[in-house]
Structure 1
Amino acid sequence: MKKVLLSICIFLLILNVSNAQSIRKNYLEMTDYEKSELIDSFYDIRSGNNFFDDIATFHMNFFNFDNTTDTSRLDLHFNLPDESEKEIFLAWHRRAVFELERYVQDYNPKLSIPYWESPTDQETTSVLWDDEFMGSFNTNWSLNRNLGGNGPMPTPANLATLYGMSDFFEFTNELERRPVHRGSHVWTGGAMPTPLSPRDPVFFLHHTYVDYVWNTWEELHHNSAFIRTDMIRFDGTYSFNGETLPVVNPNDIIDTRALGVFYATNGLASLDNYIVSNTYRPLESFYYQFTVEAGDNFIVPTGTNCVIESVNEIVLKPGFEAHSGANFTAAIDVQNANTGKKSTNRTYKPYDVVSNLQVIVWEEDDKDDTPIIISTYPNPFTETININLNKKIDCKVEVFNMMGMLIRDESFQNTDKVIIKDLYGLASGFYVIRIVDNEGNIVIAKRVVKL
C-alpha cells in the first residue's frame, strides 16, 4: 500500500484554517504561553456564548433526581446500584469537557483542556492557583473559593483501590462518591461543592482528570458498559419544555478515541487504534510539545486530513498508515506554539449570587456512607408493599402518586424491613416510594406499579 506525506507548504495552508483534536496533558506541562491562551479562551467564552453559565444551570437542573418523585428524568450524580441503568455520571462529564474543549479550540486550535492530578497536587500555593492561571477567576468571577477548607483529598491508595476493581458499576460509584472525584470539589470550596460547580473553570480541569482515571481503568479492564442508551448531552440547544433533547449513546464514547481524545503522561503521547474521520474537525490536528508516537493501527484514510505536531519529537511506529490520497503531515513546531497571540479583553463578570444554594453534603470517610439499596415486592403490587433495605435505619416511608401528591407516610425505627399495608383502594398506575432518614434527608426514591 502506498503511503504519502504532503509537503510542508500545503500543511501550513491547511493549519491556518483548522481546528484540533486533543492530546490532553497535566497542566504542569503547559508553557506560560499556553496557560495564558487557555485563560484568555475562558474569558472569551464567558463574554461570548457564556458556556460556563449555561452548563452550570443544566448541571444544577439535572443534578440529582433521586431526590424527587419524577423518576423519568435522568440524573447526573449519586445514582445507586439498583438503578445502574441511569449511571451516566462518567459519560455525561466526558461529553461536557469535550464541549468546552471545542470552544477553546475555536479560540486556539493547539489547546486542549489539561488535567489537575489532585492525588499529587494538593497545595494551596500550587501554581494551579496563581493569579495568572486558575486564581484569575476567583475574584473576577466571584467564585469565593476556600482552598483546603474541607477534604479529604485523594491519595495514591484511593487510585489503587479504583484500578483494582473489575466491575464497572462498582468502579463508577466508588469513583464518584470517594475522594478521587469528591475531594477536589469540597477542598476547593466556593461553587465547586454545589450543583453550580461548572461555574468554576477548575471544574473542567478536575473532571478531565476524572476522565483520565476512567480512561486508564478502561484500558486495564475493558469492561465499561451502559444500559441507558439515550443520555442527554449539553450542547446549548436543550429545552426543558417537553421538546426532544439532543442525546448521545454513552456506549459510543466509552473509548476517548471516539471523540479524538488521547492522554499524554510523563512527556509521551501515544496515538494508536484510531482512524482519522474528520467527524468533528475538517483537519484533525494533534499537538504536544514533547514526544508523540503514532502507530499500532493509527490510520489516515484516503481523503482525510491530519497533522501531528510536536516541539521535540514525532515517531511513526509500525502500524501507522497514511493512505494514498490522504492529507497527512508530521511537523516540528520550531516556534513552540508561541505565535498568533490574540488581544483578548478579559471581561470581569462576577456571577450573580444564588440564594439558598444547596451545598453537597459528603459523608466523612469514618462514617458509614454505604448507599441505601431498596428492593420492593411484589412489583406490581395489589394491596401490600414489602420493602427490604440493605442496612437498618430510622426512616419515614412516603408514597406519592404520579401527580406528586403524598398519599401515605409511616415512620419506622431501626429496621431494614418495612411493610406498607391496606393499599387496595389506590387506583391502578405508577407510584413512587420515598425513604427519608430521621434528619429529613431523602435517601432514595423508587417507582412501583399498582395493578
Structure 2
Amino acid sequence: MKNKYLFVAFIFSLLVLHPIFGQSIRKGFQEMTEYEIVEIVDAFYELRNGADLFNDIATFHGDYFNFDSTADPTRLDLHFNLPDEQEREIFLAWHRVVVFEVEQTLQEINPELSMPYWNSTIYQSPTDALWDEDFLGSFDAAWELDRDLGADNRLPTPTELNNLLAQTNFFTFSNVLERQNLHRGGHVWTGGAMPTPLSPRDPVFFFHHSFVDKVWHDWEEIHHNSSYLTTSMIRYDGTYVFDGETLPLVDPNDITDSRVYGVFYAEDGLAELDNYIVSNTYNPEEIFYYQFNIQAGNNFVVPSGTVARFESVNEINLVPGFEAAPGSSFEANIDIQNGGMLNKSFSKGAITRTKNPYPYSEKINEAIVWEEGGNLLDDKPIVLTAAPNPFTEKITIKLNKRKDCVIEVFNMMGMLIREEAFQNTDTMVIKNLYGLSSGFYVIRVTDANGEILVVKRIVKM
C-alpha cells in the first residue's frame, strides 16, 4: 500500500447521465513517471507470455491489412478504403478498439497503467527518451524488430496537424490522416516491423496509434461529425475468440467519442475529466493516474455503489459539475513517495530480465505501399449525371464521389426554383417537378462552404 500525503473524500448528489465505462488518463510518453515506465515495460513483456496478445494482434492486422474488394467484395480489411469504399471504412474506429484492448490487458497487470502516446510532431529524434534501453529500446533486440530510426524521415509537422484538424468532412479527414505523415510517418520513420502489415509486433505501434486516436479525439471535439456507414468491425464483430474469450461486438458509430471507453487525453500538464460516469465495468476500482494536474468536473459522476480514485503526484482539482453520490467510494490521493515508485529500485540503463524475450522467428512482411495522389486529397473533378434527361416529374442526380452538398435548380431566367441539402451522399432525388414548364433548366451543386462544384443543363418535357 502506498504512503499517502493527502486523502480526500467527497460526497455529492447524483446527476443522471448515460453510463459509459473504462478508465484511462493517457499522457505523452515524456510525462510518464519512472514508476510508469518500469511498470509498462514489464507489462509489455508479460503480454507475450501464454496466449501472446502482441503476436495475435499483429497476425490479425497482417491477415486483414488491405484487400482488393473488386476481387472479393465480401472480404473485409482495415486499411485504404477511402475515398472510394466508404461502406467498408473502419480505420480510426478499429485502431481505437485495438489500443483499448491492449490497455485493458495492461490494467489487469497494473490498474494504474494507461497507454501513453508518442506525439511525433514534436519528438522526432532517435535520442528521445522513448528509445532508451530502459524504455522501448530493449524490445528492438529482444523481439528482433530490426528498427531503423529516422532512415525514412517523414514525421509530421505541427502545420500538417493544424491543417488536418481544419478538415470539415470526416471521411476526408480520416483519409488524409491515414495516408499522410500523421499516421504514415511514425511507421516509416521507425522502420523494422512498423512499416509492414505486422507493425503491431513493435510496442511503439500502440504509442503511435494512441497519438493517432488523440488526433481523432481533438478533431471530433471541434467538428462533432464522425460517422460510419458500417455497423460492425472485423475482430470486434462478436465472433472472434482470443485466449478462450469472445471479443465484443462493436459498432464504430458507438465509439466516436473516446469517453465511451473512459479515455481522457492529458496534455501540457493538465488532464481534464468530464462527461463520464464511473461504472466499474472492467475494473473493481477505476483509477485515474497522472503525475500532474487532474481536473474533474462538468458531469463527471461517481454513482452509488461504484469505486473510483484520482491519483496525482502533484495536484487534483474538483470543479463544478463533479459529483460523487452517497454510497460511492471516491478517493483523491496525492502520492509524494518517489513520484509513485512503489519502493521499486530504478536506475538508468538496461533493465536486467530473467524472462524469455520472445524473439519472432519468421521474417517480417514486405513494407507497405503507401498510396498517395489525387484520391488522397479528394481533388478529382466532380462528375454529375442526371436521369432521365429530359425529365418529367423527378430527376435523379448522381455524383462520382460522396459529398455534403446543396442542389439548386434554376430556370433559364436565372431564378432559383428549388434548393435541397444533402449529407455524405452521391445520389440525390429531386421530386415533384411536374409543375414546371417545358424547357431548359440548370442544376448547380455547391459544397458546404458555398463553392460551386459542378453545373449541368437539363431539359423538362
Same fold (TM over 0.5): yes
State the Cα distance separating 1:246 from its structure 2 match. Answer: 4.5
The superposition leaves residues 110-148 of structure 1 with CA deviations (integer Å, 9 ceiling, x where unpaired) of 111111000111111111111111111111100001111
State the Cα distance separating 1:73 from its structure 2 match. Answer: 2.6
CA distance in 1, matches of 2:147, 2:185: 14
CA distance in 1, matches of 2:293, 2:92: 29
Instruction: Write the mapping of 1:251-290 to structure 2, written as runs, cut at 5 A.
Output: 251-290=253-292
Q: What TM-score results when the alignment is normalised by the length of structure 2? A: 0.72
Match of 2:446 in 1: none
State the Cα distance separating 1:256 from its structure 2 match. Answer: 1.1
Structure of higher CA gyration radius: 2
Cα 1:224–1:368 change in 2 (3 A) is: closer
CA distance in 1, matches of 2:118, 2:161: 14
Amino acid of the structure 1 residue aligned with 2:359? P
Amino acid of the structure 1 residue aligned with 2:9? L
CA distance in 1, matches of 2:73, 2:371: 25
Q: What count of residue pairs does the alignment treat as equivalent? A: 362
SS in 1 for 2:48: helix
Cα RMSD (Å) of the superposition? 3.1
Match of 1:86 in 2: 88
The superposition leaves residues 358-388 of structure 1 with CA deviations (integer Å, 9 ceiling, x where unpaired) of 31122578x986679899x9xxxxxxxxxx9
Cα 1:369–1:302 change in 2 (3 A) is: closer
State the Cα distance separating 1:39 from its structure 2 match. Answer: 0.8
Match of 1:322 in 2: 324
Identity of aligned residues (%): 57
Match of 2:9 in 1: 5
Amino acid of the structure 2 residue aligned with 1:223? N
Cα 1:235–1:23 change in 2 (3 A) is: farther
Instruction: Write the mapping of 1:141-290 to structure 2, written as runs, cut at 5 A.
Output: 141-233=143-235, 238=240, 246-290=248-292
Among candidates 81, 97, 100, match of residue 95 of structure 1? 97
Cα 1:5–1:369 change in 2 (3 A) is: closer
CA distance in 1, matches of 2:106, 2:262: 15
Any unmatched runs of 5+ in structure 1? 8-18, 378-387, 391-451
Cα 1:204–1:236 change in 2 (3 A) is: farther
Any unmatched runs of 5+ in structure 2? 1-7, 12-20, 346-351, 386-398, 402-461
State the Cα distance separating 1:67 from its structure 2 match. Answer: 5.7
Amino acid of the structure 2 residue aligned with 1:359? A
Match of 2:299 in 1: 297
Match of 2:366 in 1: 358
Moved beyond 6 Å, runs of 4+: 371-375
Match of 1:38 in 2: 40
User: Does 2:36 match 1:24?
Assistant: no
Among candidates 109, 130, 154, match of residue 111 of structure 2? 109
State the Cα distance separating 1:63 from its structure 2 match. Answer: 0.8
Cα 1:163–1:184 change in 2 (3 A) is: same
CA distance in 2, matches of 1:363, 1:303: 51
Match of 1:119 in 2: 121
Amino acid of the structure 2 residue aligned with 1:339? L
SS in 2 for 1:285: strand
Match of 2:396 in 1: none
> Is the Cα contact below 8 Å between 1:40 and 1:344 reproduced in 2?
no
CA distance in 1, matches of 2:221, 2:264: 12
Cα 1:235–1:43 change in 2 (3 A) is: farther
SS in 2 for 1:132: helix
Amino acid of the structure 1 residue aligned with 2:340? A
Among candidates 334, 337, 349, match of residue 336 of structure 2? 334
Cα 1:239–1:271 change in 2 (3 A) is: closer
State the Cα distance separating 1:293 from its structure 2 match. Answer: 0.5
Q: What TM-score results when the alignment is normalised by the length of structure 1? A: 0.74
State the Cα distance separating 1:312 from its structure 2 match. Answer: 1.0
